[in-house]
Amino acid sequence: MSLEAETLLRSMADSKRLLLWRGAAVLFFLAALIIAVGKSHSTVSSLDARPHIARLVIHGVIGNDVSQITTALRKAQKSSSVTGLLLVVDSPGGGVTGGERLHDSIEKFAQVKPVVVTMGDMGASAAYMLSVPAQHIVALPSTLTGSIGVILQRPDLSPLLGRVGIDVAAITSGAMKDQTDPTSHLTPEGRTMLQGLVNDLFDQFVAMVVKGRHIPEDKVRSLADGRAYTGRQALSLGLIDELGDEDTARQWLRQRLKIGDAQYPVMPLLSVSKRHWYDFPRKRAMLEGVFGSGFTEMLEGRLTLSSLDGAVAILQP
C-alpha cells in the first residue's frame, strides 16, 4: 500500500473516531438536557376510603425542594383511612434542608401513627436523618447507612483567575460577605465562619439521632465522624433495629397495627402523573446500551446534587 493511501486511510479512521466521540457527546448533552427539564411530577394519590398503609419511596439524591412529599405526609397524617407509613429508603442522602424537612414531617406523622423504614442499598446521611423518627428501622446486612455528618464544599477559584489575568474585586458590607463566593480568596476568618456553620448543622443532625434512636449523645458523637456502616454493623451499634427486607418491615407494621397476616392494602403515598421519557423500556435500554447500566439514575443523581446550594449530608460515591 502506498504511503499516500495509508495516510488517507488513517485520516479517515481518525475522522470516524472523532465523529463517534462528537456524536456521543451530543447524545450525552441531549440526555442531560431532557432529564433536567423533563422531571416527572409526583402528585398526592387520592386517599382511599378503605383503611390502608401508605408506602413512600425515597430514592436517589435528596433535593431541597420536598414540598410535594411533605404535603402528602401532612394529608396522610390527618386521613382516617391511613393507618401507618411504610418508608422505603434507597438514597445516599443529599441536601441538609431537604433531609431536615422530611425528618420533621415524618416525625410529626410518627407521633400519631406508626412508621417503619426499610433500607435498600443505601440509607445514609440525609437519608438516615429522615429515617430516625421511625419507630422501627430495617436494613439489609449489606446496606450502607449512618454516615452522620455534614459537608460544605467551597471551591477557591481566585488563584486560577489570577493566572489568566482576571481580577475580581468584591465590594462588600462586611468581611464575611464574600467568603461563600468561589471567586474570592478564602481567608482564615472565613474558613472559621464556614466551619461554624457546618458544626451547627452537624449538632442539629446529632440531636435528631439522639432523639429518634434514644442513644446517648456522647455515643452518637463517637459514631458520627462521617463514616458509613453496613446494616450488620449498624444493628450492633443501635442505629437500626432489625436485619431484613421490605417484607420484614411490612410484617413489623402489621403486628404493630394488630392486623396479623390478613390482606391489608398497601398503597403509594404519591402517584406519578408523568413518567420520565427515559423510563419507557426501549428508550432506557437505548441510553444504557450506549452509556452503560445505571446511566440514567447516575445522571439524574448528579444533576440533583449539582443543583444543591449550601451544605449537604451525603455519602460521596
Residue 133 has pLDDT above 90, yes or no: yes
In-domain check, residue 23: no
How many alpha carbons fall within 13 Å on the CB side of residue 5?
2
Domain membership flag for residue 184: no
- Residue 277 pLDDT level (bands cut at 50, 70, 90): very low
Tell me: the pLDDT tens digits for 177-207? 878 777 788 889 988 998 999 999 999 999 9
155 inside domain: no
Q: Is the residue at 291 inside a domain?
A: yes
DSSP string covering 272-294: ESS--GGGSHHHHHHHHHHH-TT
| 177 labelled catalytic | yes
230-259: pLDDT as tens digits: 999 999 999 999 999 999 999 999 999 998
What is the CATH number for 274? 3.90.226.10
What integer pLDDT is reported at residue 71 of this predicted model? 96
Per the structure, the count of domains in the chain is 1
**Poorest-pLDDT segment among 3-12, 53-62, 136-145, 177-186:** 3-12
Rg (CA), the chain: 24
Residue range 292-306, pLDDT digits in tens: 655 555 555 554 545
More confident residue, 229 or 282: 229
Range of the domain at 145: 42-150+213-314
Residues 137/164, Cβ–Cβ less than 8 Å: no
> Which pTM value belongs to this model?
0.75
Q: What is the largest CA-CA distance in the chain?
A: 86
Q: Is residue 249 part of a domain?
A: yes
**54 falls within a domain:** yes
Q: Which are the contacts of 284, defined by CB distance < 8 A and separation ≥ 6?
A: 278, 296
**Catalytic residue, candidates 177, 236, 274, 307:** 177
For 30, the grid coordinates are 441531549
Residues 6+ apart with CB under 8 A from 106: 73, 85, 87, 115, 130, 131, 133, 134
Catalytic position from the list 125, 131, 147, 184: 125
Decide: 85 and 109 in contact? Cβ < 8 Å. Answer: yes
Of 40, 94, 100, 32, which is closest to residue 308 (Cα–Cα)?
94
Question: What per-residue confidence (pLDDT) applies to 315?
Answer: 64
Residue 7 has pLDDT above 90, yes or no: no
The answer to whether residue 151 scores a pLDDT higher than 60 is yes
In a domain, 82, yes or no: yes
Cα–Cα distance, 89 to 106 (Å, whole number):
13
Higher pLDDT pick, 14 / 66:
66
Residue 205 within any structural domain of the chain: no
State how beta strands 136-139 and 115-124 pair: parallel
